Chains A and B, each alone.
Chain A
């Protein structure tokens, strides 16, 4: 019986993105942004876009696969996939779903993508404006609990309080992202450096752990990756970024209603991380560069802890910018600026950055990385994460 795994079976052969804009500033419609990112990924991989035969996305992306297939005149659509769950929880899962389809022979050449134009559609930071709240929201919205930050804030409060972790540990994440954005031509926050004083002076979004700079931006743009079988990727222009491991989901009742998840103060990675390491046949110490989705800095820390990258006990000491920078860091983090300072593209920009790091073409290039990891949007359900590697990790 063959081993059931994606390890080394598929690779990302192309990456693409649009210009990244502040929210509401895109001159282009959301669907056009999706098309541009996909065409860029195909060009990067040196393939005719008509050869694409599948699309995978997440977060309820409005640019649906069949319409993309028609607009691009692709020859044949073989895989059309939307991953359940909100926000960026599904970013790694979308790439893995594309990979699973390719490996299973259901498709040959699949695009995983995300497109967002929040000027054209609604923003995330304001609650729904409906008069009546139904489902879970009936027990939350009347109390003024509506935004993503508010949905997660009490997980962070509980975790940080239980473990005595200081806000400075989260500040380090924000400072690192802004530091990296200053040398990334794609970054929306390039030219807007952040230091500790500016961070500490920023307004509270939510006490006790969400200052303005602990929260992601909201942006317009699109990003895409092209997933093909590993053997095909070897004949394509760029060094392949092989999928070594991927996992998605959530542990026991992590989606329980009205904040009743038994393990509440969690980013929901305990079982996902176990499955990820198991498929990758690697451990936290093997990761050379980490891209961890920042919806909020607290989620980054929780995700890192649940993947074993740092322990709660050592978080205060370890989480300082020097340990997280691309040049001096023991664990380089969010080397493009990520959701905080490059672009909030629901984490797809983190996948592109992981690929660039392995190719050796990132603006803040870590020295000779072999293993790059992406942690998808923490604290939602389902969550997902993935590990990419160079040829020598196979």
Chain B
């Protein structure tokens, strides 16, 4: 198991019932998000109702683990004791064209000082932790 992108000790996701299929999917190396049984559209993050058609029949579907960088940031200031002394890191907002354009937040793997371009293509990397798996992103090609 390779080293996680950020130091251990950051808050772990609570893995609440509303999002359980997502977390189960990540542990199996699959990207699974909400898909409405009423109108067939994807939505993210998890919610009890479809914001388009108001159906409560929200199922879950595997989507292609590929996307585009929609925006990014490189934090320097440590916002948590686990990050004290760690130095800058990259957070990206990734848009998934294959899933109705939903967006996900993750870290961009690789050199934290690399130049980041909006629109760059990325693919998911499943990063195992103790009891949960995070979806990270790396540049394609």
A interface residues with partner B (beta carbon < 8 Å): 125-147, 149-150, 153-155, 157-158, 161, 203-208, 253, 256-260, 264-265
List, sorted by A's number, 23 A–B pairs whose CB atoms are closer than 8 Å: A131-B12, A133-B12, A135-B16, A138-B15, A138-B16, A139-B105, A141-B10, A142-B6, A143-B105, A144-B10, A144-B75, A144-B80, A146-B79, A157-B72, A158-B118, A161-B71, A161-B118, A203-B76, A203-B77, A253-B51, A256-B51, A258-B104, A259-B105
B77 lies within 8 A of A144 (CB): no
B81 lies within 8 A of A129 (CB): yes
Contacts of B61 in A (CB 8 A): none
B74 lies within 8 A of A129 (CB): no
Interface string of B78-94 (1 = CB under 8 A from A): 01110100001101010
Within the complex, what minimum Cβ distance (angstroms) separates B53 from chain A?
Answer: 14
Contacts of B16 in A (CB 8 A): 134-135, 138
Contacts of A136 in B (CB 8 A): 45
* Cβ contact of B73, chosen from A128, A132, A206, A256, cutoff 8 A: A206
Does B106 reach chain A (CB closer than 8 Å)?
A: yes
A127 to B91 Cα, complex, angstroms: 16
Within the complex, what minimum Cβ distance (angstroms) separates A207 from chain B?
Answer: 4
In the complex, residue of chain B having the shortest beta-carbon distance to the beta carbon of A133: B11
Within 8 A of A (CB), among B1-49: 6, 10-16, 19, 43-47
Does B138 reach chain A (CB closer than 8 Å)?
A: no
Given known pairs A133-B11, A133-B13, A158-B118, the reply for A205 and B105 (CB within 8 Å) is no
Given known pairs A131-B11, A143-B6, A144-B10, the reply for A153 and B105 (CB within 8 Å) is no
A146 to B73 Cα, complex, angstroms: 13
Given A126-B79, A141-B11, A143-B105, 11 more contacts at CB 8 Å?
A127-B11, A132-B11, A138-B13, A138-B15, A144-B107, A150-B75, A157-B71, A258-B44, A258-B45, A260-B45, A264-B93
A134 to B13 Cα, complex, angstroms: 6
B79 lies within 8 A of A155 (CB): no
B88 lies within 8 A of A207 (CB): yes
Given known pairs A129-B80, A133-B14, A136-B45, the reply for A206 and B75 (CB within 8 Å) is yes
Within the complex, what minimum Cβ distance (angstroms) separates A170 from chain B?
Answer: 15
| Closest 7 pairs between A and B when the two form their complex, measured CB to CB | A257-B45, A154-B71, A258-B45, A138-B13, A134-B14, A207-B74, A153-B73
Within the complex, what minimum Cβ distance (angstroms) separates A40 from chain B?
Answer: 35
A143 lies within 8 A of B107 (CB): yes
Within 8 A of A (CB), among B97-135: 102-107, 118, 129, 132, 134
* Cβ contact of A130, chosen from B11, B46, B91, B132, cutoff 8 A: B11
Contacts of A257 in B (CB 8 A): 44-47
A142 lies within 8 A of B71 (CB): no
B44 lies within 8 A of A132 (CB): no
Contacts of A256 in B (CB 8 A): 51
Within the complex, what minimum Cβ distance (angstroms) separates B7 from chain A?
Answer: 9
Contacts of B46 in A (CB 8 A): 257
Does B60 reach chain A (CB closer than 8 Å)?
A: no
A310 to B81 Cα, complex, angstroms: 40
Within the complex, what minimum Cβ distance (angstroms) separates B124 from chain A?
Answer: 13
In the complex, residue of chain B having the shortest beta-carbon distance to the beta carbon of A153: B73
B11 lies within 8 A of A137 (CB): yes
B77 lies within 8 A of A206 (CB): yes
Contacts of A150 in B (CB 8 A): 73, 75, 79, 91
A138 to B51 Cα, complex, angstroms: 21
* Cβ contact of A144, chosen from B6, B19, B44, cutoff 8 A: B6
B70 lies within 8 A of A258 (CB): no
Contacts of A135 in B (CB 8 A): 16
Given known pairs A258-B105, A264-B71, the reply for A142 and B12 (CB within 8 Å) is yes
A341 to B47 Cα, complex, angstroms: 40
Contacts of B74 in A (CB 8 A): 204, 206-208
A138 to B14 Cα, complex, angstroms: 6
B91 lies within 8 A of A132 (CB): no
B14 lies within 8 A of A146 (CB): no
Contacts of A133 in B (CB 8 A): 11-14
Contacts of A154 in B (CB 8 A): 70-73, 91, 93
B105 lies within 8 A of A125 (CB): no
A372 to B102 Cα, complex, angstroms: 40
A140 lies within 8 A of B105 (CB): yes
Given known pairs A139-B13, A157-B72, the reply for A258 and B79 (CB within 8 Å) is no
A145 lies within 8 A of B12 (CB): no
Contacts of B72 in A (CB 8 A): 154, 157
Given known pairs A205-B76, A253-B51, the reply for A139 and B104 (CB within 8 Å) is yes
Contacts of A137 in B (CB 8 A): 11
A143 to B112 Cα, complex, angstroms: 13
A145 lies within 8 A of B105 (CB): yes
A276 to B9 Cα, complex, angstroms: 45
Contacts of B105 in A (CB 8 A): 139-140, 143, 145, 258-259
